[in-house]
């Protein structure tokens, strides 16, 4: 009987190696990814606190297939899915490869990621039901519930279910998804007390254009552009 296919991103690979679950999962599933994810998993600075060593031989031997993502495939995906612009290269390429397979792509193929922005894009691609947590993969591979407690929270089924539910709520995603706060607290922190008070008192509503702007701002500007600027300024000695 053929193994079930599962596509994994960089964070899932690193966490699977950190916990020692990689070999078991690869024994249970046909694990696949894209070339840029392999590159990211093997990169990094070993002197950084919390760095996880990913064995190159163990990684490649466990993977059933590593898919190339040509520039044309990547560009087509980003043009047609503007939210993907803020994703890390590995997550973007993984979703670009899925997108390129078209609607006839095997709906039984699973996707495992712990990246919130990637889950939002997966929702836009109608892939929410394909998402599977690393914890679920580990448990199905013979890892005991006690052993799975070693996983960080964002790799658990409970975390994924929560994010997936928020994505399905649609309009509430921009406010709730990236903050972890209640809608009221998120509005106050990110949009100012004035707007939060007007919304809570019913004096104004959050229209679709406003929600779309907030979603792009929180997912792309705060999480990526601001961080890139901070790194640039730090590198320049500012």
List the 30-34 sheet strands across, edge first: 65-67, 30-34, 5-8, 110-112
DSSP state of 87: S
Q: Tell me the pLDDT tens digit for each residue of 13-69.
A: 999 999 999 999 999 999 999 999 999 999 988 888 888 999 999 999 999 999 999
Domains and CATH numbers, the chain: 5-168 (3.40.50.1010), 171-235 (no CATH)
The predicted pLDDT at position 56 comes to 96
CA 91 to chain centre: 7
Most confident of 165-169, 171-175, 186-190, 222-226: 165-169
- The average pLDDT across 125-145 equals 94
Backbone angles phi, psi at 34, to 5 degrees: -115, 165
Distance from C-alpha of 226 to C-alpha of 228, rounded to nearest angstrom: 5
pLDDT tens digits, one per residue of 67-85: 999 999 999 999 998 878 8
Q: How far apart are the C-alpha atoms of 146 and 158, rounded to whole Å?
A: 15
Q: What is the mean pLDDT of the chain?
A: 81
Its pTM surpasses 0.95:
no
Share of the chain above pLDDT 90, in %: 50
């Amino acid at each position: 009987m053929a193994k079930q296919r599962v596509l994994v991103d960089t964070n899932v690979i690193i966490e699977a190696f950190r916990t020692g679950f990689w070999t078991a999962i690869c024994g249970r599933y046909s694990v696949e990814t894209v070339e840029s994810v392999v590159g990211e998993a093997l990169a990094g600075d070993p002197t950084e606190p919390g760095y996880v060593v990913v064995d190159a031989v163990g990684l490649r031997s466990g993977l059933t297939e590593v898919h190339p993502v040509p520039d044309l495939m990547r560009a087509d995906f980003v043009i047609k899915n503007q939210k993907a612009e803020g994703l890390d290269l590995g997550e973007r390429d993984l979703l670009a490869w899925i997108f390129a397979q078209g609607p006839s792509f095997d709906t039984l193929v699973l996707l495992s990621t712990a990246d919130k922005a990637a889950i939002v894009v997966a929702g836009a691609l109608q892939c929410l039901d394909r998402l599977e947590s690393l914890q679920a993969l580990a448990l199905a591979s013979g890892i005991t519930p006690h052993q799975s407690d070693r996983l960080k929270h964002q790799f658990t089924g409970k975390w994924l279910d929560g994010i997936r539910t928020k994505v399905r709520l649609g309009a509430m995603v921009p406010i709730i998804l990236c903050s972890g706060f209640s809608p009221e607290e998120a509005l106050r922190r990110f949009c100012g007390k004035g707007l939060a008070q007007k919304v809570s008192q019913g004096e104004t509503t959050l229209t679709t254009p406003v929600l779309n702007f907030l979603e792009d701002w929180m997912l792309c500007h705060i999480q990526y552009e601001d961080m890139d600027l901070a790194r640039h300024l730090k590198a320049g000695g500012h």
